[in-house]
Amino acid sequence: MMEKKPISKKIQDLAVNHAKSDGRAATTDQGLKISHDSNSLRAGSRGPSLLEDFILREKITHFDHERIPERIVHARGSAAHGYFELYEDMSKYTKAGILTDTARTTPVFVRFSTVAGSRGSGDLARDIRGFAVKFYTEEGIFDLVGNNTPVFFIQDAMSFPDLVHSVKPEPNNEIPQAASAHDTFYDFISLATECLHNHMWAMSDRGIPRSLRMMEGFGIHTFRLINSKGKVHFARFHWKPQLGVHSVTWDEAVKINGADPDFHRRDLWDSIEKGQYPSWELGLQLIPEADEHKFDFDLLDATKLIPEELVPVKRIGKMTLNRNPENFFAETEQVAFHPGHLVPGIDFTNDPLLQGRLFSYTDTQLSRLGTPNFHELPINRPLSPVENNQRDAQMRMTINKGRSSYFPNTLGGGCPYLSKIAEGGFDSHAERLEGTKIRERSESFSDHFSQPAMFFRSLKPWEQQHMIDAYTFELGKCITEAIKLRMLWLMNQMSGELAQQVAEGLGLAIPTDIDEPINRNVGADADPKSQQPGPAKNYLDKSFALSQTFLKSETIATRQIAVLLADGFSQKDLMKKKEAWEAEHAFVKLIAPHGGSVRSYTGQEHPVTASIVTTESVLFDALYIPGGEQSIAALKDQGKVFKFINEMIKHCKTIAFDGDATMLHEMSAAKQFPADKAIFINASAADIARSIAHHRNWKREPLTSQIAV
């Protein structure tokens, strides 16, 4: 195996100045040493402040201008640094260095985000998650800007402002925040039926992930890969999490947002700080150029996925996140992604959504960061040299030398010179194009029902039930009955089971027909009825890769295990299991009736992670209660102990009781599930760990409706 190249030291400079400030004198922004930083200049100790106080003016002015416009979408984000390593040379398909050079270790910066909410919204909103990766390659920046779903809502960028306007808080009252359960959103998507597929993903458990570390990422669009001989393959990018794909229930999501609205952000940060680095494998779906039209869907349609049963995902490398940002604003907030940041060997297709994004992202960075020089911010700087004749503009940091700022030139020695394609110069794919200028969508984009129907069929029964519950909740929040009926009619085109159960939950009947045209994304001169989506086709009954159960993980690494205990608990019970679970890199947290420390019945003191009044069961993946007569006697008088236990049962999590703790088993809802394989009494640490690794016992869920919490 070839020795890996070390990560360039330049990546360290992309964050912030790492020099310690200890022992350095305070100064103004101009470098002037100051001796006061708490009192403004006054005319006497009780007199008026003086306008000449330039130190006060500088400090206040900087503060007043600290905030920049937040992103219109993807405003709330979390990020981390890491690196990418390639398993296999892919030069058969591309000349891109990061996909051909297995000796490289390429630095990356990854930003995860929610789409609809503002920067201050909660992490557990039901929403699509952004998954944007910036590769600092030797050939320049490559940005793979995607989501945690393999498809997008719309087919053409022209509709993007309308989509976002519909899902944002309604403009008359700015309600609701970070939520799609309102009339304007459902009015739009029920008329723009291309949205139905991605909306179904949002209504699935993918819309409320357990962790940013436990969700897939997708490049969404079809790209071109081009090898050194000019041969083309179409490609779609996938990120496969090595911890598996897991979610929380809606009931948990609502409670988590109340207990810890920074839940996902904290989870990512803490895992990296503790050395449990999240990782994803990069996969490619590769299609020869000659096979572009062989599918029952169009590869250029961003609302369609390529089932893995038709084109397997080839895993070619791994990305690991191993360093948290040192300054949230300078890095996470100022990072600027752009799908147009490419390297030789990767190129665009004619996907109309992708083509529109190529304009939109530059425009966005100009609005947010205020200058075309956003590439000079440390987090956005490429590691490769930047040489061109672009000059000036706001916040220019580079001091260019010499007389010539144009090309061609002789005064500058002809520099910067142009690179030959064979020497790494970028060259767009030479695609033959001809056609009439026309505002029209290809007929191959008109199937809006087949893939959503396949997605629903591919889910496990418990995943289907969660989706039914999500639609029932969201449409139940809508006021206009006509919108609800329109949505029920559309659901019925995809799945009669889905439509019927949602209709029952809403107390409505499914319409047999809709008088108005549904698909409004046609020109004013077109006959709307002639361009309605056709009936759903069944070209693949199920795609097993679409269920969260497809990506399995047998590890309990980074799982949060709550231990309920009080003074007098069994030291032997606790330590044997705690040591075993921590050896598998789980996080074991001690929860007691009070803070400080808790003492075992043999006298050992243990620091308490949190008192039971300051935390909630929904923040943990599993619950363990050790024995100890005195401990259990104290716990049984705590009402929240039973809320903790019963919520764990209701949310289908693993729970274990030892020794005297069986009293709490008999007093709680756990008693109602004598045959449950995820409820343990005096079990081994290994058996409990295997259950936690399975995430949830979803078979319990239909039986939990009567549990009071």
Sign of CA dihedral 523, 515, 180, 151: negative
DSSP assigned state of 92: T
* Amino acid, single-letter form, for residue 608: V
Beta strands in 314-377 (DSSP E): 314-323, 346-347
Integer CA distances (angstroms), 567 to 405, 493, 616, 629, in order: 75, 60, 20, 10
Lookup: tokens for 232: 């083309």
236 neighbors 285 (Cβ within 8 angstroms): yes
Q: Give the Cα separation of 709 and 696 in Å (integer).
A: 18
Q: Give the Cα separation of 302 and 198 in Å (integer).
A: 10
What is the three-class DSSP state of 354?
helix
Q: At residue 625, what are phi and psi to the nearest 5 degrees?
A: -125, 110
Could you write out the three-class secondary structure of 6-57?
CCCHHHHHHCCCCCCCCCCCCECCCCCECCCCCCCCECCCCCCECCCCHHHH
Can you name the residues that pair with 279 across neighbouring β-strands?
A: 320
Other CB atoms within a 10 A radius of the CB of residue 108 amount to: 21
Lookup: tokens for 380: 């956005």
Q: Which long-range contacts (CB under 8 A, 24 or more apart) does 102-106 make?
A: 102/2, 103/2, 103/3, 103/4, 103/5, 104/4, 104/5, 104/138, 105/4, 105/5, 105/6, 105/7, 106/135, 106/136, 106/137
Backbone region of residue 592 per phi and psi (left: phi > 0; alpha: psi in -120 to 50; beta: other values): beta
Q: Give the Cα separation of 77 and 119 in Å (integer).
A: 8
DSSP assigned state of 676: -
Alpha helices in 612-661 (DSSP H): 629-635, 639-650
Q: Which of 652, 535, 607, 575 is nearest to 251 (CA)?
A: 652
Q: How many angstroms from the chain centroid is the CA of residue 657? A: 35
In the annotation, is 74 catalytic? yes
- Starting at the earlier edge strand, list the strands of the sheet with 587-592: 610-611, 587-592, 560-564, 622-625, 654-657, 679-681
Choosing from 18, 62, 65, 74, which is the catalytic residue? 74
Q: What is the DSSP pairing of strand 346-347 with strand 560-564? A: unpaired
Lookup: tokens for 118: 């503002």
CA gyration radius, the chain:
28
What is the three-class DSSP state of 574?
helix
Choosing from 81, 147, 148, 448, which is the catalytic residue? 147
Size of the chain, expressed as the number of residues it contains:
709
Integer CA distances (angstroms), 206 to 149, 150, 201, 698, in order: 8, 11, 6, 16
Q: Give the Cα separation of 512 and 535 in Å (integer).
A: 14
In the annotation, is 400 catalytic? no
At 588, which helix (H) or strand (E)?
A: strand 587-592
Give the active site residues: 74, 147
